[in-house]
Chains A and B, each alone.
Chain A
Amino acid sequence: MTERILPAELEKQRQQILSARDASRPVILVCGGTGCRSQESGQVAESFRNAIHDQGLDAKVELKTTGCHGFCEQGPLVVIHPEKLVYTHVKPKDVKTIISETILNGKVVDRLLYTDPITEKKIVHEDEIPFYKQQTRVLLKNSGAIDPEKIEDYLVSGGYKAVSKALFEMNPDLVMEEVKKANLRGRGGAGFPAAIKWELCRKEIADQRYIICNADEGDPGAFQDRGIIEGNPHSILEGMILGAYAIGASKGFIYIRHEYPLAVNMIKKAILQAREYGFLGDNILGSDFSFDVEVQLGAGAFVCGEETAMMASIEGRVGEPRTRPPYPAQSGLWGKPTNINNVKTWAWIPHIINNGADWFASIGNDKNRGTMIFSLVGKINNTGLVEVPMGISIRELIEGIGGGVPKGKKVKAVQTGGPSGGCIPESLFDLPMDYDSLRDAGSIMGSGGVIVMDEDTCMVDTARYFLEFCKFESCGKCSACREGVKRMWEIVDYIARGYGEEGDLEVLEELANAVKIGSLCGLGQTAPNPVLTTLKYFRDEYEAHIRDKKCPAGVCKALITFEIIDPECTGCTLCARYCPVEAISGEKGKLHVIDESICIRCGVCRDVCNFNAVVVR
């Protein structure tokens, strides 16, 4: 371990690292986020490393593996600084060309550029791509620009400046005051003001206080917390140090899903480096403030995202929520005052301390300040992580940044807030994306997952999906949630399978309200939301399932049949070869026929058909 460094030395070190770097030297940034890694970006980075070494270019060009760039749809992504040239879908075999053309000759490789799907023009630079152009990237700014495994990269980008400012130019009250003035609302979903929670925790008289970073990102369809941890783990640590200083906590926990192995690895490395530099441990930067952090892995229980369940899990027990009060701020981990915030909330703190509450207030709208990170997924062209000011309309998000729905289909709804949220129909797309507007529409902001649904998405099936999720994840403590959600699932499942009866929807609504009232924690209280919103906005779809025994979107297997149509079918035999149950017959070059008595409605034939000859009836 190195000697404790003092603030002045920290600044000196920062300058030293900076001056040792040549700003004009090209840097190749290969995205190493989970999305790109799944598409073999690891091999791309390896190829670059070998090529640079073999050609003796080590002094001429720098190679970095970074966190998520956000534009996962186009991965693996390679960005070349200082010009911020973007190459998409890069394969290991493209590496040679990039080195010889771009790095050595300053030429752009056209075929690897991003093509705007609307104008069909090739775009060279990152900030010219519509997906990035319309974003306000604060929390995600460094993710994709720095090497998350190097604390030096974070330091050069101004990292840990806020810690030295807080410890030596401010006091805990001033830090608290600044966050309060900023009116930062908790990014975990409920939007409770962070500073108020902090104050409650600090007010308690205790010999020990704890803070927790909630990185148990369980909402299916949301991965922004993972993105920040993988791309810029030190920003979370810095936020936690500042929060601990304001609250008077000496120990912090980061509760993270074990399903995120890369993120776990990154945060563990970051903690070791921060300790080495003296940002964590005893007498941080030579002050009399001491604080350290420990990582706790979750074990695959969605309910542990609820704060009291999470604390039970950290204590090594079964993660069942308990009644509040006492609130965690009064009696949390091992009975001590505890403050829990989401990853994004912690990551905001350094920015607020560095730039001030007024700067923060200038982003977003008055009640919903700052930016929010959304994970744009589902039936949308530009899937990925986007950071925008709070209050942007759903339409701007979907059609502007998201680039609309693929294959010319019509957008039907967006689902926000995961299993606790609801579906918002296209007619309400001018609503601003902020805590209050989404709540009024029957949904919630949640952790920022935005799942786009088009005309081929069945809302009954969607409701069934979320009920199934909650049924599976209910911890079983409250009977309203344990039994009620199961019964709701049964009713919706019956409807989807064609056994729906008149009166089902009324029972469903009654049950939904009972589950809401009778559950202890957020899981049960919000589990009926997907059903209630789909019933409110898409009641006709439910009715079509019940009365006409039809699934308008063509999803519910029991209510559809597949048919091959003439003259679209060319008799290419592809569908017959892929059919897993050999239900398709026909001669080569002639119209094929599906035997309905054998067909299992898996939809493979429709997937593989190149001529749109398979239709749903």
Chain B
Amino acid sequence: MAIDIIKVETIIEDHAQNENDLIQAMLAIQEEFHYLPPEALEKISAQLNVPMIRIYQVAAFYKVFKLEPRGKHIITVCNGTACHVRGSNMLVDQVDRVLKIAPGETTEDQEFTLEEVSCLGCCAIAPVLTIDDKRYGNMSVSKVERVIKKSVEKEAVADD
């Protein structure tokens, strides 16, 4: 997949001045592309004068960074303590049953990626599942399929 290299350059310029800002630049790139495309990393390396080995070291260390393309929609199940106590692992199992993806995997049609996160800080409305930017609190296994369907429908409306 070809990426817009001009866009990459602008993002780096907006978020980073020198090698100290490496992580901030990588976060901004991932925000745009949902993962870290190799072309973009090479651009960061050139613009901030940081060797590729260090960029990959940082990418491998921090959990948010993804080197593989992810699905169009990211489903995140919070696995914080409060969510765990209220049964978040059952939500993960249910997403797996509905979409046939385990945490870290993407559906074959590249539509959904399932991920787990340590804590989203919405512990009061645990368990929490998010689809892209939308948070669903007080989730239950029986609601999982419905909210996934809803996210697809919304998109269909927006596309019209």
Contacts and interface: CB of A to CB of B under 8 A. Distances in A.
A217 B122 CA distance: 12
A378 B125 CA distance: 9
A72 B124 contact: yes
Contact of A301 (B22, B62, B85, B135): B62
A383 B123 contact: yes
Contacts of B43: none
7 contacts: A38-B136, A73-B124, A223-B124, A299-B58, A301-B63, A377-B82, A378-B126
B120 interface: yes
B10 interface: no
A315 B19 CA distance: 8
B82 A299 contact: no
A614 to B, nearest CB: 13
A258 B79 CA distance: 17
B89 to A, nearest CB: 9
Nearest to B60: A318
B16 to A, nearest CB: 9
Contacts of A475: 61
Interface in A475-498: 475
A75 B125 contact: yes
A457 B125 contact: no
A598 B140 CA distance: 22
A371 interface: no
A126 interface: no
Nearest to A581: B97
B49 to A, nearest CB: 12
Interface in B11-43: 19-24, 26-27
B65 interface: yes
B122 A34 contact: yes
Interface of B: 19-24, 26-27, 50, 54, 57-58, 61-65, 79-87, 90, 93-94, 97, 117-126, 128, 133, 135-137, 140-142
Contact of B19 (A217, A219, A300, A316): A316
Nearest to B62: A299
A383 B118 contact: no
Interface stretch (A22-30, A180-188, A389-397, A602-610): A602-610
Nearest to A461: B84
Interface in A316-342: 316-320
Contacts of A607: 140-142
B80 A318 contact: no
A473 B118 CA distance: 9
A469 B63 CA distance: 13
Query: Counting chain A CB atoms within 10 Å of each CB, which of B20, B79, B85, B135 scores highest?
Result: B85
Which of A35, A38, A320, A475 gathers most chain B CB within 10 Å?
A: A38
A138 B54 CA distance: 44
Given A415-B81, A453-B85, A607-B142, A260 B62 contact: no
A217 B137 CA distance: 20
B13 to A, nearest CB: 16
Contacts of B21: 316
A146 to B, nearest CB: 21
A299 B136 CA distance: 23
B24 A602 contact: no
A37 B136 CA distance: 10
A158 interface: no
A223 B123 contact: yes
A379 B85 contact: yes
